[in-house]
Amino acid sequence: MAVAVALFVSACGGSDTKPEATTPKAPVPAVAETPAQSAYPAGFITAADITLGPIDQAKVASGQKIFDEKCHACHGLTDQKVIGPGWKGVTEHRKPEWIMNMILHTDWMLENDTAAQNLVELTKARMTDQELTKDQARDMLELMRTL
């Protein structure tokens, strides 16, 4: 009898853990950027770190040079996919801090950010970390703002 009770309790989920809620999650919009800024590790870029003003042509020129050296094999300056997505219009649907974190912290973003993971699924390619500095990433952002 004791064995039957033990089997019944274990079969019915007699543990102390509660099952996860089964409420369906809302679909993530295409422009969703997860995790929220507050979930970024220390050292990541936040909106407070970026001040956008008029286009800085010196930064654009620097960003173009970096693009030509490190990015052009996988990305284009149009909206057309090369290996990775084209950059035209990226600043219209991605926040500046997300763009810079994708450039600076590529591996973490690909492992933890749903939008970055969706890009891998879409392009069937994983972006490699180009080991850029914060200033270089800001120059890349400035180039993207012109597209």
pLDDT in tens, 118-134: 999 999 999 999 999 99
Which residues are within 8 A (CB) of 55 and not within 5 positions of it... i.e. 6 or more apart?
A: 142, 145, 146
Whole-number pLDDT of residue 128 = 92
For residue 82, count other CB atoms closer than 10 A to its CB: 17
Global pTM?
A: 0.73
| Residue owning tokens 């012109």 | 146
pLDDT higher for 52 or 25? Answer: 52
**Which DSSP state fits 47?**
G
Residue for token pair 């004791």: 2
> How large is the C-alpha radius of gyration of the chain?
22
pLDDT of 3: 37
pLDDT at residue 31 tops 80: no
- Would you state the pLDDT for residue 8? 38
Question: For the range 16-19, what are the long-range contacts, defined as Cβ-Cβ under 8 Å and sequence gap of 24 or more?
Answer: none
pLDDT digits (tens, 9 = 90+) for 74-112: 999 999 999 999 999 999 999 999 999 999 999 999 999
pLDDT tens for each residue of 13-29? 333 433 334 333 333 33
Among 120, 103, 115, 124, CA closest to 30: 115
- Give me 36's structure tokens: 């929220």
**Residue at 87: amino acid letter:** W
How does the average pLDDT of the chain come out, rounded?
A: 81
CA-CA distance, 13 to 31, in Å (whole number)? 39
DSSP result, 5-18 = HHHHHHHTT-SSPP
Which domains, and CATH codes, for the chain?
75-147 (1.10.760.10)
